[in-house]
């Protein structure tokens, strides 16, 4: 009996999907905003742990969990982000390196959480800021490359997530 029920669920799911409006790209879930950003012709993404921890809260599992409340400032990662901004400005200001191209950036704070880091990387790949966009969800990546995170476990999770988009991770 159970396989039959599972099959029925699958058929219903497929029917629902095929009926969905495929011409509008709608954001599922909450938008994710960067901590630091500047527009440019080429945008470089950054994922750093400006905080190294978050407040533990009792979850009720009856409502959506609220966003993490970050604690413990991590100056080392803030310094890394500053170095990234300095390099971007230096290349942007230079008349010999990439002349006529302005560089921008979008930098996210992960709070030291791998899950938040993956979410930030997905936001950098997809642009999780707009609630809905005209047309299908098949536009170009928001950023040309992602710098960070500073821990290898977060990097491994992020690289698995953005690998299919062929986005380089430094």
Ligand X SMILES: *[C@@H]1O[C@H](CO)[C@@H](O)[C@H](O)[C@H]1NC(C)=O
Interface residues with ligand X (CB under 6 A) are 21, 23-24, 38, 40, 86, 88-90, 92-93, 102-104
Compute the chain's Rg from CA coordinates: 19
Q: How far apart are CA 88 and CA 31, in angstroms?
A: 26
Residue 20 or 63 having the CB closest to ligand X:
20
**Which is nearest to 105 in space by CA: 122, 87, 129?**
87
Residue 99 or 164 having the CB closest to ligand X:
99
Helix (H) / strand (E) containing 25: strand 24-26
- Shortest reach from residue 46's CB to ligand X, in Å: 12
- Shortest reach from residue 25's CB to ligand X, in Å: 10
DSSP state of 164: G
- Shortest reach from residue 38's CB to ligand X, in Å: 5
Residue 25 or 114 having the CB closest to ligand X:
25
């Amino acid at each position: 009996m159970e396989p039959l029920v599972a099959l029925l669920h699958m058929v219903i799911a497929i029917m629902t999907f095929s009926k969905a409006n495929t011409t509008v790209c709608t954001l599922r879930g909450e938008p994710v905003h960067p901590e630091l950003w500047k527009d440019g012709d080429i945008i470089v993404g950054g994922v750093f742990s400006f905080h190294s921890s978050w407040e533990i809260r009792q979850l009720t599992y009856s409502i959506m969990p609220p966003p993490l409340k970050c604690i413990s400032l991590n100056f080392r990662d803030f310094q890394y982000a500053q170095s990234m901004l300095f390099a971007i400005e230096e290349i942007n200001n230079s008349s010999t390196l990439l002349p006529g191209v302005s560089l921008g950036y979008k930098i996210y704070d992960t709070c030291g959480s791998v899950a938040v880091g993956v979410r930030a990387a997905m936001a950098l790949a997809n642009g999780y800021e707009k609630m809905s966009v005209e047309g299908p969800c098949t536009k170009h990546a928001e950023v040309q490359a992602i710098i960070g995170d500073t821990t290898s476990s977060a990097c491994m999770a992020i690289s698995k997530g953005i690998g299919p988009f062929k986005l380089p991770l430094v």
